[in-house]
Amino acid sequence: MVSTPVTLRSYWRLVRGNPNFRRLWLAQIVSEIGDWFYTLAVYTLLLELTGKAQSVGLAVALQVLPQTLVGPTAGVVNDRLRRRQVMISADLVRAVIVACMLLARTRGSIWMVYPLLFVETVMWGFFEPARSAVIPNIVPAEDIVVANTLSATTWSFNLAIGATMGGIAGVLFGRETVFVLNALSFLMSAFLIGRMVFHEPHAAAAAPLRARDLVDFTPILEGIRYVRRDPRLLATVFLKGGVGMLGANWVIFPIMGARVFPVTIRGLDPSRGAMLGMSLLMGARGVGALLGPLLSAGWAAGKGPRMRKGILVAFLLSAIGYMGLSRAPVVALACACVVLSHAGGSVVWVFSTTLLQRYTEDRFRGRVFSADLGFCMLAIATTSYIASLAVDAGVSVRTVALATGIAMLIPAGAWFWALRRWQDNS
């Protein structure tokens, strides 16, 4: 199959000429920018009221771990119901959840943050596999690489803008305004997705979903057998789990931003200076994640062998970036190391998503992408919580960054081994 070259012109042609993808893309923009505003506000609230890195580590775990737990059920739901309706329902519930964050204002009410984060993440666990699974239904096969690259670069742009502007908005208007804006962003996303019109063949052929189907593991076992039949698919479905090993950044950046690189301006409250320090590192992460797919997609040109080799190089860049971050003496160099590392992580994300979409039949996509994201979320939850425990135990945040870089050599080595096996068997 010949893929469309990834260029700014191909992005524009896809967005202008495909109304369904345009609406899905705009929904992604508004909800993700709101999410990054909100994430910074939650982390600074927790650090301000508890003073412990573990509170952030627990928040990160609750933002990602439910994806692993709900993944099997979400996969079945997305393979049996119309994915458009699943996305709309998830957005509406998330709008309510985020609005409820306004009630957490004191040490006595801070406990509310944790169950709210849990429920919000459960909804994301239904939404994101549906979004990934519908792209092949609304985009021609030759444009899938363009669509995935645009989605990934948009996520990265949203992170860079949302994290940077979120810090500024929090300083100027306060956390409450940030929570309200995020709730409104989910309502706008639901409206845009509601205007999409496309055929969903999996739903037309599927039996009606019953409550007992949610605890019936037969479809899950079918998905496992399907993945195990194809060694390429089996190896690729674990790649985002490798990216998830960068999850310690959810603890590293808030702590490093607050304690190592806070922004100090005369008259600026220290807690708000800490938020700005965090926003610089988070924004650098977004810049890296934006540049990675942009610089690599043209070279890969949608070719499977190049994407597989690119994944290996990207893992190595992620490792080097975090090793450099552990030694960075100033915030500018720290941001440069973050850019390098997350450029690599984003390349792995885009290339692995494209390979999975090519390898997977439509009727199995919901389950495969739920597993794909589930492995990633499990890795993020584990590494972020371990990082928070280490920091609270007195381990330097720089040492945690170094350990993260070394750990990234594990998925790099595993993928190198998988590539060698395929070559030996070819």
The CATH number assigned to the domain holding 150 equals: 1.20.1250.20
Residue 144 has a pLDDT of 84
Asked if residue 208 is part of any domain, the answer here is: no
Asked if residue 126 is part of any domain, the answer here is: yes
Residue 64 has a pLDDT of 76
3-state secondary structure of 323: helix
Higher pLDDT, residue 365 or 99: 99
- Which residues make Cβ contacts (< 8 Å) with residue 419, sequence separation at least 6? 308, 309, 312
- With a cut of 60, say whether residue 216 has pLDDT above it: no
Q: What's the pTM value of the predicted model, to 2 decimals?
A: 0.72
pLDDT band at 222 (very low <50, low <70, confident <90, very high): confident
What's the CA gap between 341 and 292, in Å, rounded? 9
Is the distance from CB of 189 to CB of 128 less than 8 angstroms?
no
pLDDT-wise least confident of 126-135, 365-374, 388-397: 365-374
Could you list the residue range(s) of the whole structural domain that residue 241 is in?
Answer: 8-197+217-425
pLDDT-wise least confident of 155-159, 278-282, 316-320: 155-159
What's the CA gap between 331 and 336, in Å, rounded? 9
pLDDT digits (tens, 9 = 90+) for 277-306: 788 888 898 889 888 888 887 787 778 889
Characterize 24-33 residue by residue with b for buried, 16 or more Cβ atoms within 10 angstroms of its Cβ, and e for exposed.
bbbbbbbbbb
Q: Retrieve residue 150's tokens.
A: 């645009």
Residue 424 has a pLDDT of 55
pLDDT digits (tens, 9 = 90+) for 400-412: 999 999 999 999 9
Residue 425 has a pLDDT of 56
- With a cut of 70, say whether residue 149 has pLDDT above it: yes
Residue 208 has a pLDDT of 61
Asked if residue 333 is part of any domain, the answer here is: yes
Residue 10 has a pLDDT of 84
Residue 220 has a pLDDT of 61
Is the distance from CB of 381 to CB of 68 less than 8 angstroms?
yes
pLDDT digits (tens, 9 = 90+) for 9-41: 888 898 999 999 999 999 988 888 877 777 878
pLDDT band at 267 (very low <50, low <70, confident <90, very high): low
Residue 116 has a pLDDT of 92
Q: Which amino acid is at 360?
A: T
Mean pLDDT computed over 205-232: 66
What's the CA gap between 46 and 271, in Å, rounded? 11
What's the CA gap between 103 and 115, in Å, rounded? 13
Asked if residue 264 is part of any domain, the answer here is: yes
- With a cut of 70, say whether residue 211 has pLDDT above it: no
- With a cut of 70, say whether residue 358 has pLDDT above it: yes
Q: How many helices (H) and strands (E) does the chain have?
A: 18, 0
pLDDT digits (tens, 9 = 90+) for 61-91: 887 777 667 767 777 787 777 888 899 999 9
Q: Which amino acid is at 294?
A: L
Asked if residue 416 is part of any domain, the answer here is: yes
- With a cut of 70, say whether residue 269 has pLDDT above it: no
What's the CA gap between 147 and 135, in Å, rounded? 8
What's the CA gap between 173 and 152, in Å, rounded? 29
Mean pLDDT computed over 319-339: 94
Residue 219 has a pLDDT of 60
Asked if residue 205 is part of any domain, the answer here is: no
CA angle (341 as vertex; 335, 345 as ends), nearest 5? 135
Residue 124 has a pLDDT of 83
What's the CA gap between 147 and 105, in Å, rounded? 40
pLDDT band at 258 (very low <50, low <70, confident <90, very high): confident
Q: Retrieve residue 112's tokens.
A: 């509310």
Residue 207 has a pLDDT of 58
Residue 323 has a pLDDT of 97
Residue 411 has a pLDDT of 94
Residue 55 has a pLDDT of 85
Residue recorded with tokens 């080799």: 309
Is the distance from CB of 94 to CB of 186 less than 8 angstroms?
yes
Residue 403 has a pLDDT of 97
Residue 324 has a pLDDT of 97
Is the distance from CB of 134 to CB of 84 less than 8 angstroms?
yes
Number of domains in the chain: 1
- Which residues make Cβ contacts (< 8 Å) with residue 181, sequence separation at least 6? 34, 37, 38, 169
What's the CA gap between 128 and 33, in Å, rounded? 16
Mean pLDDT computed over 324-349: 94
What's the CA gap between 289 and 346, in Å, rounded? 5
Q: In the predicted model, what is the mean pLDDT of the chain? A: 83
Mean pLDDT computed over 210-227: 65
Asked if residue 276 is part of any domain, the answer here is: yes
Mean pLDDT computed over 97-103: 90
What's the CA gap between 300 and 313, in Å, rounded? 12
Is the distance from CB of 150 to CB of 8 less than 8 angstroms?
no
Mean pLDDT computed over 295-319: 88
